[in-house]
Structure 1
Amino acid sequence: MRVLLGGGSGFVGSALTQLLRSRGHGVTLVSRQGGQDRITWEELSHSGLPLCDAVVNLAGENVLNPFRRWDDTFCREVFSSRIETTKTFAKAIAEAQQPPRAWVLVTGVGVVLGRGGGAISQMLWPFRLGLGGPLGSGLQPFPWIHIQDLAGIVCHALESESLQGILNGVSPSSNATSNGTFARELAAALGRPALLPVPAWAVRAVFGAERASMLLEGQKVVPKRTLESGYKFLFPELSGALKDIVA
């Protein structure tokens, strides 16, 4: 297939691009900068959709960016980065003479775990130094997914002829994983203790009350339809996923 990928230069996009190309698909990225196998969002908006079989949109500002305050400016950036890019794709698809047969919008997945980026990159050094621990009570759910499985689910959706609807991007064992369990498993994978919980007030101080609630309350999610669709997870269990990432 010829796949047009929005937001493909980031952590998840790079993994998905690599997987798609390894399976024989062509990938063109939509990003801020043009170049080889790339077009810009401005080109997409003005010139329309290039000939393609599938469209995937991964674009979106990281909601939990610890270096940005949750103020009106950042809030607008978070919404705009998702909504405006999706509108641009929707308009281009609607106006295309030969629209793609598949469109995948990636949003609301679990915490993406993988080497060289994502959530793990922010956690590794505190845990390596023995300073890691659960957030708040540690009892809150911690939905997670290995980056290879997130890329795999998107690829599976594109390659399946009649697949429609929502596929939750979380591992099968996420429902039984608490934040405290994750902290202990990560520490064990690194051969370190996880004795220092991060108090709730500190999480609120760094992220702001609204974003902190995402980390301190969590959400139980199960990949029921993902499994029913026939996708086989490479990393269904947390211990195996973490060993692969920190080995």
Structure 2
Amino acid sequence: MRVVVGGGTGFVGRALTQLLRSRGHQVTHVSRQGGKDRITWEELSHSGLPLCDAVVNLAGENVLNPFRRWGDAFCREVISSRVDTTKALAEAIAAAEQPPRAWVLVTGVGFYRPSPTAEYTEDSPGGDFDFFSRLVSSWEAAALIPGSPTRGVVVRSGVVLGRDGGAISQMLLPFRLGLGGPMGSGLQPFPWIHIQDLSGIVCHALEKESVRGILNGVAPSSPGTSNGAFAQELAAALGRPALLPVPAWAVRAVFGAERAVMLLQGQRVLPKRTLESGYCFVFPELPAALRDIVA
């Protein structure tokens, strides 16, 4: 299978590329700079989609980059990096003489309203209550190609856990020093997924012709994981205590009130359709996932 991956040079893209190539698939990235097995976004708009069997979009500016101040300019960048790239790929698919068979977009569980008690499946409503939910709605709407023969799948990802990037890369040092702990109350749900499983779900969606629509990219046990429980498990995997909570005011001070919601609140998300589609999780439980990452 020939797969075109938008934004495939980041943390998730590297893992997905490695998995796809290990399964015998050819991968071409769409990125800001050209090179071997790459085309630029400008080349995509001018020359169209290379001949391929499937397309994936992973592009998106890191929303929780602590070095970027939350303001109008950064908001526009966050939206453009997701919605505009998705629209560009969807338009290229629609214009292709030989359209690909599958089109997979990875978005986020921010679509669902944060709640300490509600549980959400792929059929649950959401998408219109704050900046991030509306972002996911616009992002997913940009992927729609009316009348296209290309099979569409959207994977709504939780917090991605892996060795070479993502959330844990910023947490490891304080936790290794024994300075880690929960954020805010620690009671908020923490929807998580191991990088191998997010890559695996995308690969599963590409390879299995019956898969279409929304899949939740979270581990089966994640609805029972709180932020505090995650902190305790990460500390245990490192053989360290987790005694120093990060107060909510400090999180807001660093990230701004709007972004802090992503860390101080959370959603209990179930991968109902993902499991029904036949995907088997490599890391369904948090302790094993964290041991694999910090080993």
State the 1:18 CA deviation.
Answer: 0.3
Give the Cα separation in 2 of the matches to 1:49 and 1:217.
Answer: 39
Structure 1 unaligned segments of length 5 or more: list them: none
1:147-200 Cα distance to aligned partner (Å, 9 max, x none): 000000000000001211111110000100000000000000000000010000
Structure 2 equivalent of residue 231 of structure 1: 279
Query: How many residues are aligned here?
Result: 247
SS in 1 for 2:61: coil
SS in 2 for 1:5: strand
Aligned amino acid, residue 239 of structure 1: P
The correspondence for 1:200, drawn from 240, 244, 248, is 248
Structure 2 equivalent of residue 211 of structure 1: 259
Give the Cα separation in 2 of the matches to 1:7 and 1:48.
Answer: 16
Aligned amino acid, residue 267 of structure 2: Q
1:52-102 Cα distance to aligned partner (Å, 9 max, x none): 000000000111111111111110000000010011011111111000010
After TM superposition, list the pairs within 5 Å mapping 1:6-155 onto structure 2. 6-108=6-108, 109-155=157-203
TM-score of the aligned structures, taking structure 1 as reference length? 0.99
Structure 2 unaligned segments of length 5 or more: list them: 109-156
Aligned amino acid, residue 140 of structure 1: Q
SS in 2 for 1:33: coil
Give the Cα separation in 1 of the matches to 2:172 and 2:289.
Answer: 14
SS in 2 for 1:106: strand
Give the Cα separation in 2 of the matches to 1:103 and 1:136.
Answer: 38
Structure 1 equivalent of residue 211 of structure 2: 163
Aligned amino acid, residue 215 of structure 1: L
TM-score of the aligned structures, taking structure 2 as reference length? 0.83
Q: Over aligned residue pairs, what C-alpha RMSD do you find? A: 0.5
Structure 1 equivalent of residue 221 of structure 2: 173
